[in-house]
Every structure is written in C-alpha cells, then in structure tokens.
C-alpha cells in the first residue's frame, strides 16, 4: 500500500435501460450517454442494463480515447447487462452470479434471463489498489406484494459476502449500481452494515440533484404515470457506495444526479437518473464512533434476513409440492385414459367407444403436464437448495456474531471501516 | 496476523461416493468413515459427494464430540455434495457455484444436477486465519474424447479466481477435493501457477500410500475393471493443496493415502482413496527461486486455456445452431400439416383425407420438438455467455501479464507465495 498516494476519482453510474426494440429511443440515448461520458471524462463508469453486445461495442469504440479500458460482464441467457469503462487499466476481473434470480416462466419480467450478478474489476489508481464493483439486483414489481423479496434478500446477502471476502487487499472499494432496494430496505441494511460501505448520497459534503437523492422519479417521461404507486415523487434505488481500508479513509466531496432531463436533448438518458460521485482520499483514519457498527444491530438485521429467507423457503416448498401433485394427477389421468382405451381392445372385437380425437388430445395434454411439472420440480428443487444454503450461512453468521457479543459485557462499537465481522479483521 | 503463533494441522479429504441407492454399501461405508474420523480426530475434514442431507446429518451427529463445527454446502438440484467438519470454530462460509457444469440432458452423468461449486470456510487456528476450500469439479468420462474439457477448464479458471481473490487476508490457505484433473492437466497447471498453491503430495517430506500418489486405483474393488483405460494402475485426481501468506510459509511434513482397502473391513471407504496431510508452519519466509512463478509461463498456460475455451465456444455455437435449425424444421412441419389439413376444410364439403390418428401424432411430435429445442436454445445461449465471459477474462489476464512482462528485460522470477499476479500483490 502506498503511503503517500492520494486519490481523486470521479465515479459515474447509470442503469441504461438498454433493451433493444423494447426500450424507447435506445440508439439515440446511447449516443447521448456516449457524448456525456466523452465530455465529462469520469475516471470510472459503471453501467447496468447494457444488454446488447453491439451497444457495448459501439460505446467502447466511441469512448476509446477517454476510457481505453473496459469490460462487459457476461452471464445468464442474454448477459448480465453490466459494463465498466475506465480511464485506468483494469488488471483483473471476476464475476459472481447470484444463486437466485426470479423464475424463467415469468417471461414478462425477464430478470431470470438476465443472469443478474456482481462484476468486480481491480484497478490501480496511482499506487492504490481499487476494487470496483458493479451490480444490478432483481427488480421489485410490487412493493406491497413483492414475491421476489426472498430472492432479493439472498442477492443482497451474497453481494455483501462477495464484497467482504474479495476486498481485503483493496485500499479503496467502490460499488455502483441499481440495487432495486430503498435505503431502509432489509437488503440495503444488510449490505451496508456487514461490509461497512458508505452511501455517497448521505456522506457527500455537497449534493446537487433530485429531492431526497431519488433516482427513479415520476417526472421522468419514460416512467409510466402512476407506476410509482404511493411513492408519488419517486424512489432512491441506485447507489454509489464506497469505503477505504482499515487504515485509510475515503471521503465523498460531491454527489449529483440528473433530474429527469438531459440538457439540449428532448428526452433523458434513461428511465433511471444517472449518479456521479467525487471521492477523495485516503487519509489516515481517525476512528470515530459514527464509523462503528454495533454487532448487536447486525445480529438483528441478519435474523430479519433469515426470517425473510424462511418465508421464501416455505413458498418454494409449497410451489414444489404443487408441481409434484399436478404431475401426479397428469400421470394418473394418462393411466386412466390408457385403461379406458384398453378395455375394448382386450375384449377382442368390441368397438372402440373412445373418440380418437379426444384420445389424442387428452394424451398430449397429459404428457405436456408431466413434462412441464417435471421441469418445474427440478427448478424449485434448485431454488430450495439455494434458499437453504443462504439460511444455513445466515444461521452460522448469527452464531459467530453472538459469540463475539459474548466477549463484550455490553455490546460495544466495533471498528468497521472494512467488512466489519469477516475474516478481514 | 499473530507473529508468534505456530500451526500444526492435520487435513483429511475424501470423495465419499455417497449416491443413495446407487453407490455400493453406502450406509456401511459412512459408518466406517465416521469411525475413522472419530478415531483419527483430524483438525479439518473435507468431504465430497455427500449428496444426501440425511447422510450429512448422521455424520454430524456421530462426529459431534470430535468435530463440533461443520457445514454442508447447498447448490444445484441435489446439492453440491461438499461438506466440511472441523475441530475449530467456523467463523464464516461462502459458496461459489461454477458457471458451467455439463448438460442437464446427460442424466446418466448427472454432474449438472449436482451444482458443482467451491465452498469456503474461514477458521481461526490459534491466532491465525485459515481459509479452507473444498471443491469437486466435473468428472472426466473419457480421456480421449472429453467433451466436458472446456467446462472443466472454465471451472479451474473460476476456482483460481475465487481462491486468489478471497484469500488475501488469510495466513494459511488449504484446498482439498476431487479436481478430476491429472497433475499435468491444463486446469491443474492453471490453478497452481495462478494461485501459488502447492501440492502436498509433491511437497511432503514423507509419503505413505499408493504408487505415484494415485487416488483412483484399479485395485479398488468398487472400480470397474478396465474402466481405467490405458492408465492401468490408476490416476491421481484428488488433492490437498496449501500455501502460507506472502510473509509466512507453510510446510507439509507428512502425506498419506489409503490403498484400496480399509483395515478390518471387507471393502474400502469409497471408490476414491482418502488423503491425509500434516501441515506445519508458519515460519518466516525464505524466498527461494523454486517458490517463484514465471510470468511468461503463466501467459502460456492462460493462452492454452483460452484456446480450449474457444474450442468449447465453437462447439456450443454449433449445438445452438443445431437446436435452432431443428426447431425451425419442427415449426415448418407443423405449418405444413395444418395447411394440408386446412385444404379440404376450406373446400367446403370435401372429405378430410388426413387420417386423424396421424394428424394428432404428428402435431404432438412437432410441438414436442419445438418445446425441447426452445429449452435447448436457451440453455446453449447461457453456456455461450459463460464461455465468452471466461474467454474475455482470460484475454484481459493475458494482456495484464504481458504488460507486467514488458517491465522485465528478461522474464524474471516473480515472488509468488500468494496468488502471484492478482490484486493481492
């Protein structure tokens, strides 16, 4: 670690809404984004929903002069949509694909096909090692009845594990992306408390942008009126998070978001607002109480997450049971049909009373039911395994945290500039 | 990191061949394994192919006194099969599931359903932090015509990435498992060169076990005669690997394998041989030339891996094309059939010459083809994305290594006690 190196880095993050033939004005918006990035020359650009390889390559070409280093993370059926552009050389990359990510038959939501993941890039900023993460979690389609909540909580759990375990050698950690979680949501608390990452909106000395730092606002012309539900004005679900190392601190000098429009253009860059953060550091760490994490609080958060995962477990068990029962009924129906058809065939010479059309249609239906339920059974079994795995890991984590708590007569603040309770300490 | 702490740790690794109702004498063998582990009281026990949760729980119960800490890693449809038992408290766990792992329709091989992965557990051994990894890669069913080679190379690539990026804070790194790769195979070289992990068989001061350290031997009664092919006596595919940190070194004092039989029992513990390694350390590192890795050699290995992944890419592209073409033919056949049937229906009153039985059978066949090829298309698309992702990361790694090489007038030895070229340096 270089002692004398100082860091001044400008980070940009945007969910590009780049679904070809579905998103509005995609080519024009990519042109606008390319133009903005060429002009602003951010150090690090973290993009989400760059679904098309062609769009990535055209951006890469356009940004070759100002951002010679880039990487497009691939996963799932149509890719992870994650891309990073950098002024500084990317020395290493690594991708972690979340074990749970919605359902393949929810084609209208499409998250499953995207293979949601967290991508990591290792950069050298001067003499400092920076681990830069870009991610995009499963969308929330209904706040009141969010059937994907257990999946998103497991994604947040895996995200904190990945950041915590891979960032021990880093001097600076930066995470940007569309977390699809509000600041006070369980997953956000889990991520921030466990990793010690800090929110640039809350930490910034100066802010310019939408009210309350919102990144999905009703004023954006691409947002359907009324789609915000009771949160009329908008929500904050995109973030730039950061932290230094255990010895050195990083600060956020300035943070901004776009405000639902792009200067000199008829429409904004995307349906999400773009985020920019100017980070500065590192300086020798002055441990203050506000930097500390209460182990007891973390126990509560992980316990809450465990409860949510258990809800998901029950739901997945019920779905698997339904699939098995429907499959068994399909099989029984098929046997019944064959038995009915076999009776006149066994009583030689008797005429077949079963109309052929009905016979074949019914048989085809039975086979289709059997095949579909078998696939669903396999899918739900894998979902169950992932949920059980996360629940096991959370139980172990709570045990380990409680063990630590027993060491304190009173729950004490717990130095936490970096992933507070992991092996990095 | 504690300066004065010393480490003496005995590690055990075994592929348990625990497929319920398929593997021979499974309950008796688990009893034997439990007995052995209770008697020997190894510090760390790394098991693979513990497919059944029930078998894991019964082992856990049996080992509660000598190994109070344990974890069963869950993934895929039937689990990862990976388990760890430890004398020392497990503080944290993390699972990385490989992005590629065979094909779901190769049901007879079954690897896909297993969700092959690498599990990590963080232990405190005295004052030292030990990162312990257990893994099991995709099996090799034919050495001459190994259609899973690209998948296994990508697994080895992801394994080295995972170990390298998560072990920066560890004083000791231990990896045990069934790698399904011979010592000189591309994947083994990739793993060892990149991470700096050392092979306990090669490094041990003393060895007792099968000739050449073999772990799958023809003399084992569970191995089908002749299944070894040209490698008559056996192969070495199970390993215990280890390394210290950049400051401190770890040594292997003793290593052993079982020899195709278990004392006082009619059959051995498994179809694989069990491995035991006694590790000692850490002591202050004396850098010697044999500890160093040549960056140039690593460039060659990664380039070779990239070539293998490209072969896999071509193969997956061909398979996806075949699925698409077959699907298109199914669709064309369905339209043709509907057209033929529609002709007499349009010419009102004309008799239907298309026999009903044939009509329905053909229609069902077309629909089945369409559905199956659509699923295969989706699967191959995801496989392609993963292969492309690995290839991209390898290209970037070669670039980064070459950049580093340009720094040396002649390729120079390169300090490598820990993951030689990653961000840990």
Q: Position of tokens 């000395």? A: A205
Is the same domain home to B393 and B261?
no
Q: Would you say residue A1 lies in a domain?
A: no
Do residues A256 and A215 make contact, with C-beta atoms less than 8 angstroms apart? no
| Catalytic annotation present for B251 | no
- A357 shares a domain with A209: no
Minimum Cα–Cα distance from A79: chain B residue: B385
The residues facing A177 across adjacent strands are: A135, A239
Q: What is the pLDDT of residues A54-66, one digit of tens each?
A: 999 999 999 999 9
Give the gap in angstroms from C-alpha B233 to the nearest C-alpha of chain A: 38
Distance CA B45, CA A361 (A): 56
Kindly write down the DSSP assignment for every residue of B233-274, as one continuous string: SEE--EEEEEE--SSEEEEEEEEEE--S--TTSSS-S-SSPP
The count of domains in chain A is: 2
Query: Coil, strand, or helix at residue B210?
Result: coil
Q: A222, A252, A284 — which closes off a domain?
A: A284
Q: Using the beta-carbon criterion (under 8 Å), do B422 and A165 form an inter-chain contact?
A: no
In this structure, is residue B425 part of a structural domain? no
Looking at the structure, tell me whether residues A268 and A298 fall in a common domain: no
With an 8 Å Cβ cutoff, are B356 and A361 in contact? no
How many cross-chain Cβ pairs, A to B, lie less than 8 Å apart?
A: 149
- All residues of chain A having their beta carbon less than 8 Å from the beta carbon of residue B170 are 423
Same structural domain for residues A397 and A365? yes
* Chain A residues within 8 A of B90 when measuring between CB atoms: 396, 400
Of B71, B93, B385, the CB nearest to A77: B385
Per-window interface: B 348-377 vs A, CB < 8 A: 356-357, 360-361, 363-364, 367-368, 371, 375
Among A258, A284, A310, the domain-final residue is A284
B262 and B357 in a single domain? The answer is no
CB of A407 within 8 Å of a chain B CB? The answer is no
Same domain, A84 and A141: yes
B73 to A389: CB separation less than 8 angstroms, yes or no? yes
Q: What is the CATH number of the domain that holds B77?
A: 3.60.10.10
Does residue B392 belong to the interface with chain A, where contact is any CB pair within 8 Å?
yes
In a domain, A47, yes or no: yes
The pLDDT tens digits of the residues spanning B294-310 come to 788 888 888 988 898 89
Give the pLDDT confidence of B341-351 residue by residue, as tens digits: 888 777 766 67
For residue A70, the Cα-to-chain-centroid distance in whole angstroms is: 20
Q: For residues A164 and A46, state if they share a domain.
A: yes
Q: Considering the domain boundaries, does residue A218 fall inside one? A: yes
Whether the per-residue pLDDT at A155 is higher than 80: the answer is yes
Query: Each residue of A28-56: pLDDT tens digit?
Result: 999 999 999 999 999 999 999 999 999 99
B418 pLDDT band, cuts 50/70/90, is: very low
Helix A149-166 and helix A295-346, axial crossing angle in degrees, nearest 10: 130
Q: Give yes or no for A91 touching B (CB within 8 A).
A: yes
* Residue A288 pLDDT: 47
Do A356 and B360 make contact, defined as CB atoms within 8 angstroms? yes
Chain A residue at shortest CA distance from B400: A91
How is residue A173 written in tokens? Answer: 């950690």
Considering only CB atoms, which chain B residues are within 8 Å of A162? Answer: 94
B353 three-class SS = coil
**How far, in Å, CA of B44 to CA of B35, rounded?**
15
The residue from B284, B301, B322 where one domain ends is: B284
> Is residue A354 included in any domain, yes or no?
yes
Residues in chain A closer than 8 A to B162 (CB atoms): 94
Same domain, residue pair B184 and B307: no
Check pLDDT > 50 for residue B416. no
All residues at 6 or more sequence positions from B108 whose CB lies less than 8 Å from its CB, including other chains:
none
Q: How many CB atoms lie within 10 A of CB B16?
A: 26
Closest-CA residue of A relative to B89 is A400
A364 contacts on B by Cβ (under 8 Å): 360, 363-364, 367
Task: Quickly count: other Cβ atoms within 10 Å of residue B243's Cβ.
Answer: 25
Mutation for B interface: A1, A72, A74, most B CBs within 10 A: A74
Listed in sequence order, the residues at least 6 apart from A233 whose beta carbon sits closer than 8 Å to its beta carbon are: A211, A212, A214, A217, A218
Strands B172-178 and A7-15: unpaired
- Do residues B123 and B239 share a domain? yes
Average pLDDT for residues A258-284, to the nearest whole number? 90
Are residue B105 and residue B210 in the same domain, yes or no?
yes
Residues B219 and B143 grouped into a single domain:
yes
pLDDT tens-digit readout, A70-96? 999 998 888 899 999 999 999 999 999
Using an 8 Å CB-CB cutoff, list chain B residues near A94.
161-162, 165, 393
Q: Are A307 and A367 in contact (CB under 8 A)?
A: no
pLDDT at position B288 over 50: no
B246 interfaces chain A, CB cutoff of 8 Å = no
Tens-place pLDDT, residues A362-373? 888 999 999 999
Per-residue pLDDT at A345: 74
What is the value of pTM for the model shown? 0.88
Q: Is A385:B74 a contact under the CB 8 Å cutoff? A: yes
Q: Which domain holds residue B98?
A: 7-284
Look at residues A116, A114, A111, A96 and name the one whose alpha carbon lies nearest to residue A161: A96
Among partner residues B74, B94, B367, which is closest to A165 by beta-carbon distance? Answer: B94
Tell me the nearest-neighbour CA distance from B10 into chain A, angstroms.
21
What distances in angstroms separate CA B27 from CA B22, B24, B61, B104, B187, one per listed residue? 12, 9, 14, 28, 34
- Is residue A2 in a domain? no
Q: Kindly state whether residues A60 and A181 are assigned to the same domain.
A: yes
B2 is a domain residue: no
Answer yes or no: is pLDDT of A356 > 80: no
In a domain, B1, yes or no: no
For chain B, say whether A89 makes contact (Cβ under 8 Å): yes
């Amino acid at each position: 670690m270089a002692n004398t190196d100082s860091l001044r880095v400008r980070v940009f993050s945007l969910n590009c809404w780049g679904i070809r033939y579905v998103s509005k004005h995609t080519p024009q918006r990519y042109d606008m984004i390319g133009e903005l990035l060429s002009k602003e020359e951010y150090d690090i650009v973290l993009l989400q929903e760059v679904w098309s390889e062609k769009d990535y390559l055209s951006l890469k070409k356009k940004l070759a002069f100002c951002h010679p280093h880039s990487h497009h993370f691939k996963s799932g059926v149509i890719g992870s949509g994650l891309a990073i552009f950098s002024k500084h050389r990317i020395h290493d990359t690594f991708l972690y694909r979340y074990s749970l990510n919605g359902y393949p038959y929810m084609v209208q939501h499409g998250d499953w096909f995207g293979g949601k993941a967290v991508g990591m890039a290792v950069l050298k900023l001067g003499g400092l090692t920076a681990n830069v993460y870009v991610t995009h979690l499963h969308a929330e389609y209904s706040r009141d009845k969010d059937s994907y909540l257990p999946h998103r909580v497991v994604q947040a759990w895996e995200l904190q594990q990945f950041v915590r375990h891979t960032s021990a050698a880093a001097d600076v950690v930066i995470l940007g992306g569309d977390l699809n979680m509000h600041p006070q949501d369980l997953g956000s608390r889990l991520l921030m408390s466990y990793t010690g990452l800090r929110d640039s909106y809350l930490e910034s000395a100066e802010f310019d942008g939408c009210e309350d730092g919102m990144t999905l606002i009703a004023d954006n012309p691409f947002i359907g009126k009324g789609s915000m539900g009771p949160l009329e004005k908008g929500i904050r679900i995109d973030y730039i998070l950061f932290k230094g190392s255990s010895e050195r601190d990083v600060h956020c000098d300035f943070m901004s978001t776009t405000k639902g429009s792009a200067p000199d253009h008829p429409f904004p860059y995307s349906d999400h607002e773009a985020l920019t953060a100017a980070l500065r550091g590192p300086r020798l760490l002055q441990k203050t109480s506000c930097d500390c994490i209460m182990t007891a609080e973390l126990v509560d958060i992980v316990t809450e997450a465990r409860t949510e995962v258990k809800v998901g477990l029950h739901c997945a068990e019920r779905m698997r049971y339904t699939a098995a029962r429907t499959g068994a009924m399909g099989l029984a129906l098929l046997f019944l049909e064959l038995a009915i058809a076999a009776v006149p065939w066994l009583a030689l010479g008797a005429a077949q009373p079963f109309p052929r059309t009905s016979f074949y249609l019914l048989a085809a239906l039975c086979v289709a039911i059997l095949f579909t339920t078998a696939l669903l059974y396999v899918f739900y079994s894998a979902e169950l395994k992932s949920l059980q795995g996360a629940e096991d890991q959370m139980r172990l984590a709570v045990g380990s945290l409680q063990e630590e708590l027993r060491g304190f007569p009173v729950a004490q603040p717990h130095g936490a500039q970096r992933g507070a309770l992991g092996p990095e300490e």
